[in-house]
């Protein structure tokens, strides 16, 4: 449950009246600006790191397949060009 800025201000005033300005200000500085639901936990960051590693691994594998396919096609074209050149030379 996120609180509004007005509620936050009222809480700060209540803390100042109860605990004094210095302590109230210190407490308010330690609160997240939008609520705890917007703060990432270590577990969230670890899960994100694992997901990113898996994503990069998938991309790396896709690039390997594309490069291998490109090399295979290029070699095939070179072989065909050599054979075509030899066939044309034989006709002369």
Q: What contacts 2, CB < 8 A, 6 or more positions away? A: 34, 35, 37
Domain ranges, ordered by start, for the chain:
1-39, 42-92
Residue-by-residue DSSP string for 27-50? HHHHS-SS-GGGSPPHHHHHHHHH
What pLDDT, on the 0 to 100 scale, is given for residue 39? 77
Nearest-angstrom CA–CA distance, 84 and 19: 91
Output the tens digit of pLDDT for each of the chain's 92 residues: 667 888 889 999 999 999 999 999 999 988 877 666 777 889 999 999 999 999 999 999 999 999 999 999 999 999 999 999 999 999 87
For 30, phi then psi, to 5°, come to -85, -10
* Cα–Cα distance for residue pair 74/90, rounded to 1 Å: 24
Q: What is the pLDDT of residue 40?
A: 82
């Amino acid at each position: 449950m996120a609180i509004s800025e007005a509620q936050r201000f009222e809480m700060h005033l209540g803390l100042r009246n109860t605990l004094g300005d210095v302590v109230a200000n210190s407490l308010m500085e330690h609160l997240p600006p939008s609520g705890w639901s917007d703060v990432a936990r270590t577990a969230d960051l670890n899960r994100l790191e694992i997901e990113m590693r898996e994503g990069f691994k998938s991309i790396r594998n896709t690039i390997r397949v594309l490069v291998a396919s490109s090399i295979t096609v290029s070699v095939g074209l070179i072989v065909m060009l050599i054979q075509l050149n030899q066939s044309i030379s034989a006709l002369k």
